[in-house]
Amino acid sequence: MAKKIILIVLLLTTLILAPLYLIEARQGCCSWHGGVCGCQCCDGTPLSSTCAPYYPQCNSTHPIFDPIDETPNKPGLIDLDKLHEQFSEKRQTVKISEVIDGDTIKTSTGEKIRLIGIDTPETKDPRKPVQCFGEEASNYLESLIEGREVQLEEDSIGDTIDKYDRLLRYIYSQNENINAKMIKDGYSYAYTNYPFSMSDEYKKLENEAREAKRGLWAENTCNGEREMLINEEKLSWWQRILKFIFN
């Protein structure tokens, strides 16, 4: 009887741990190459012989290579613009009619777009006061894309619509990844609460901006603190009321 119980426990343990191991192994695939996009790494590199077994649907039509080649030739960030050039045919061209805040925009056809993988300080949430560097982030995004034609691109693994029915997209202007630029220049935090193919690269860009003390990371602006408020005179009347009630 004891042997049967041990066998059952071992079987249940295997059934529970095997899927977790598979998920962890899949997440590690192409970690140096922007993640997995379809049946290859996002920068065009074929799946390695280590990763290929986790994508059996790809084995018959896509080549694999030796795992030693997964190490990049030199350290540093992946060229995000070059990485996405191969997907340019999938992009949709739209005109931006309004920048709502630093991470949300509106097209001339009325669609609301939430930029994938970034989170700028709040400026329009009625439940919160304007956060440090929120207005600067909105103004910076306006200077980059408002009134211009840009290209929208879906992520290969993440959601395409959020809970507010906003389209989740990468934004490109003159083939430059605007989402990445907002983080790199210190106007946004990397938002990695949900999976998307560029999460690792965006965290690296955030770390780079923090170390260089750019934008909201500078000591004379926010020092990386989201809740540090802007000057009192910049608050609107309803924000002053909320500040009086909750402080």
Residue 79 DSSP symbol: -
Token duo for residue 17: 């741990």
User: Measuring CA to CA, which residue among 56, 136, 66 is closest to residue 102?
Assistant: 136
Cα distance between residue 126 and residue 109, in whole Å:
26
146 in active site? no
User: Measuring CA to CA, which residue among 197, 167, 168, 200 is closest to residue 183?
Assistant: 200
Cα distance between residue 190 and residue 168, in whole Å:
15
* Active-site choice (98, 142, 146, 166): 166
Residue 78: exposed, middle, or buried by beta-carbon count in 10 A (0-12, 13-18, 19+)? middle
232 in active site? no
* Active-site choice (70, 91, 114, 201): 114
* Active-site choice (70, 122, 136, 154): 122
169 in active site? no
Cα distance between residue 85 and residue 175, in whole Å:
7
SS3 percent helix, strand, coil of the chain, rounded to 5, is 40, 20, 40
Which residues are marked as active site?
Answer: 114, 122, 166
